[in-house]
Structure 1
Amino acid sequence: MTKIVDLEKEVLTEESADKLSEENMNIVIVGHVDHGKSTIIGRLLADTNSLPKGKLEQVKETCRRNSKPFEYSFLLDALKDEQAQGITIDSARVFFKTKKRKYIIIDAPGHIEFLKNMVTGASRAEAALLVIDANEGVQENSKRHGYLLSMLGIRQIVVLVNKMDLIGYDEERYYEIVKEYNAFLKEIGVNVDKFIPVSGYHGDFIVKKTDNLSWFDGETVLEVLDAMDNSKLPIDEVFRMPVQDIYKFTNNGDNRRIVAGTIETGKISVGDEIIFYPSGKKSSIKSIEYFNGPVKTEDYAGSATGFTLTEQIYITRGELACKSNELKPQVATRISTKLFWLGVNDLVEGRQYFLKNGTAKVQAKIEKVVRVLDASSLVSKESNRVKRHEVAEVIIETIKPIAFDLTKDLANTSRFVIIDDYEISGGGIIQETLEDEQTWIREKVLTRNYKWENSHISKRQRAERFGQKPTLVLITGNKDVNKKEFAKYVESRMFAEGRLVYYLGMSNLLYGLGADIKVENSMENRQEHIRRLAEISHIMLDAGHIVIVSATDINNNDIDILKNVMKPDEIKVIWLGDYEGKETNINLHLDDESFDSMYLKLKTMLQEDQIIFNMWE
Structure 2
Amino acid sequence: MKQSSYRDQLKLVVAGHVDHGKSTLIGRLLHETGSLPDGKVEELRRISEKRGMPLEWSFVLDAFQAERDQAITIDTTWIWLRTGHRDTVIIDAPGHREFLKNMISGAANADAGLLVVDALEGVKEQTRRHAYLLKLLGINQVVVAINKIDLVDNLEAKFRELEADVRAYLKGFGIEPTAVVPISAREGDNLTALSARTPWYSGPTLLETFSSLNVEAPASERPLRIVVQDVYKFDERRIVAGKVTSGSAQVGDTLMFSPHDRIAKIARIEPLDHLNSSDRISAGESVGIVLDEQIFVERGNVASHFANPPVLSNVFRGKLFWLGDKPLRAGATLKLRAGTLETQATVRAIESLLDLESLEHRRGNVVTRNDLATVRLSTSSILPVADGHDDKVLGRFVLLDGFDTVGGGLIDLKGIPDQRSNPAIKAANIKKVDLLVNRSEREIRHGHKGAVIWLTGLSGAGKSTLAVRTERALFEAGWQTYVLDGDNLRHGLNSDLGFSADDRSENIRRIGEVASLFASAGLIVLTAFISPYQRDRSRARSASADSFHEIYVKASLEACESRDAKGLYRRARAGEIKEFTGVSAPYEAPQAPELVIDTEQADVERCVHDLAEYIRKVCSR
TM over 0.5: yes
Aligned equivalents of 2:315, 2:343: Cα separation in 1: 12
In structure 2, how many angstroms separate the alpha carbons of the residues matched to 1:375 and 1:356? 27
Does 2:322 match 1:337? no
The alpha-carbon deviation at position 116 of structure 1 amounts to: 1.8
Mapping of 1:147-546 within 5 angstroms?
147-230=132-215, 232-235=217-220, 237-249=222-234, 254-290=235-271, 294-297=275-278, 298=280, 301-324=283-306, 327-435=308-416, 442-444=420-422, 446-447=423-424, 518-520=521-523, 522=525, 531=542
Q: How many angstroms apart in 1 are the aligned matches of 2:300 and 2:215?
A: 30
The code of the aligned residue for 1:25 comes to L
Distance 1:241 1:167, change over 3 A: farther
Q: Give the structure 1 partner of residue 119 of structure 2.
A: 134
Q: 1:258 deviation in Å?
A: 2.4
Q: Which residue of 2 aligns with 1:17?
A: 3
Residue by residue over 1:445-466, the C-alpha shift from the partner in whole angstroms, topping out at 9 and shown as x without a partner, is: x548xxxxxxxxxxxxxxxxxx
CA contact (8 A) 1:350 1:368 kept: yes
* 1-structure distance, mates of 2:537, 2:132: 47
Q: Report the secondary structure of 1:245's partner residue.
A: strand
Mapping for residues 102-117 of structure 1, pairs under 5 Å: 102-117=87-102
Amino acid across the alignment from 1:314: F
2:381 counterpart SS class = strand
1:48 and 2:27 correspond: no
1:125 is the counterpart of 2:110: yes
Distance 1:526 1:231 in 2: 41
CA drift of 1:74 comes to 2.2
User: How far 1:97 moved relative to its partner?
Assistant: 3.1
Give 1:70 deviation, angstroms.
2.5
* TM-score normalised by structure 2 residue count: 0.66
Give deviations 1:231-254, integer Å, cap 9, x for gaps.
Answer: 6544554443322222233xxxx1
Contact 1:25 / 1:230 at 8 angstroms: preserved in 2?
Answer: yes
State whether residues 280 and 447 of structure 1, in contact with CA within 8 Å, keep that contact through their aligned partners in structure 2: no
SS of match in other structure, 1:18: coil
Q: Percent identity?
A: 35
The 3 A distance-change label for structure 1 pair 368 and 91 is same
- 1:528 & 1:292 partners in 2: Cα distance? 43
Q: Which amino acid aligns with 1:210?
A: S
Quote how far apart the aligned CAs of 1:143 are. Answer: 0.4
CA distance in 1, matches of 2:360, 2:525: 47
SS in 2 for 1:261: strand
Contact 2:272 2:288 in 1 (8 A): no
- Paired with 2:257 and 2:526, the residues of 1 have a C-alpha distance of 31
Distance change >3 Å, CA 41–CA 400, structure 1 → 2: same
Q: Please give the TM-score of this superposition, normalised by the length of structure 1.
A: 0.66
Cα deviation code 1:353-407 (max 9, x no counterpart)? 2222111222122222222222345353222332333222222222221112113
- 8 Å Cα contact 2:14-2:113 kept in structure 1: yes
Q: Deviations over 1:539-572 (max 9, x none)?
A: xxxxxxxxxxxx7999899xxxxxxxxxxxxxxx
Query: How far does residue 133 in structure 1 lie from its aligned partner after superposition?
Result: 1.4
Contact between 2:7 and 2:215, CA under 8 Å: does it hold in 1?
no
In 2, the alpha carbon distance for the partners of 1:87 and 1:270 equals: 51
Kindly provide the amino acid, as one letter, of the partner of residue 18 in structure 1: S
2:337 aligned partner, one-letter code: K
What amino acid sits opposite 2:62 in the alignment? Answer: D
Name the residue aligned to 1:146: 131
> How far 1:214 sits from its partner (Å)?
1.5
Amino acid at match of 1:319: N
Matched, 1:87 2:68: no
Cα distance between partner residues in 2 of 1:313 and 1:328: 18
Cα contact 2:316–2:378 (8 A) shared by 1: yes
User: Over residues 281-332 of structure 1, what are the superposed CA-to-partner deviations in whole Å (9 max), with x where a residue is unaligned?
Assistant: 233333443569512325554554433323222122222233446x532211
- Structure 1 residues 353 and 528, CA gap change in structure 2 (3 angstroms): closer
Cα distance in structure 2, aligned partners of 1:25 and 1:224: 12
Distance 1:272-1:225 versus aligned 2 partners, 3 A rule: farther
Name the counterpart of 1:561: none
| Counterpart Cα distance in 1 of 2:291 and 2:519 | 39
Alpha-carbon RMSD: 3.7
Report the Cα distance in structure 2 between the residues aligned to 1:305 and 1:88, rounded to whole angstroms: 36
The number of residue pairs the alignment matches comes to 461
Q: Judge conservation of contact 2:14–2:114 (CA < 8 Å) in 1.
A: yes
**Contact between 2:541 and 2:548, CA under 8 Å: does it hold in 1?**
no
Query: Residue 272 of structure 2 contacts residue 286 of structure 2 at CA under 8 Å; is this kept in 1?
Result: no
Secondary structure in 2 matching 1:213: coil
> Which secondary structure state, in structure 1, belongs to the residue aligned with residue 161 of structure 2?
helix
State the distance in 2 between where 1:315 and 1:113 align: 39
The residue number in structure 2 matching 1:595 is none
Cα distance change, pair 303–122 in 1 and its aligned pair in 2 (3 A): farther
Q: Distance in 2 between matches of 1:336 and 1:529?
A: 24
SS in 2 for 1:257: strand
Letter in 1 for 2:297: I
Q: Would you say the 8 A contact 2:218–2:284 is kept in 1? A: no
Relative to structure 1, is the Cα distance of residues 165 and 149 closer, same or farther in structure 2, using a 3 angstrom cutoff?
same
- Give the Cα separation in 2 of the matches to 1:324 and 1:89: 45
Match of 1:75 in 2: 60
Contact 1:334 1:433 in 2 (8 A): no
Which amino acid is the alignment partner of residue 214 of structure 1?
Answer: P
Conserved in 2, the CA contact under 8 Å of 1:159 and 1:195?
yes
Taking structure 1 as reference, are residues 239 and 552 closer, same or farther at Cα in structure 2, changes over 3 Å only? Answer: closer
Residues 66 and 350 (structure 1 numbering): CA distance in 2 closer, same or farther, change over 3 Å? closer
* Whole-angstrom distance in 2 between the partners of 1:553 and 1:340: 41
Structure 1 counterpart of 2:497 = none
Q: SS where residue 142 of structure 1 aligns?
A: helix
Q: Residues 434 and 176 (structure 1 numbering): CA distance in 2 closer, same or farther, change over 3 Å?
A: same
Q: Matched residue of 2:67: which SS?
A: helix
Q: Which secondary structure does the structure 2 equivalent of 1:166 belong to?
A: helix
Deviates more, 1:349-358 or 1:285-294: 285-294
* Aligned-pair CA distance for 1:145: 0.8
Q: Distance in 1 between matches of 2:265 and 2:10?
A: 31
The answer for unaligned runs of 5 or more in structure 2 is 426-515, 528-535, 553-589, 594-621
Quote how far apart the aligned CAs of 1:82 are.
3.1
The aligned residue for residue 474 of structure 1 is none
CA distance in 1, matches of 2:99, 2:366: 22
Once residues 13 and 252 of structure 2 are traced to their aligned partners in structure 1, the CA distance between those partners, rounded to angstroms, is: 36
Offset at 1:521? 5.2
Deviating more after overlay: 204-213 vs 303-312: 303-312
Give the Cα separation in 2 of the matches to 1:333 and 1:78.
Answer: 42
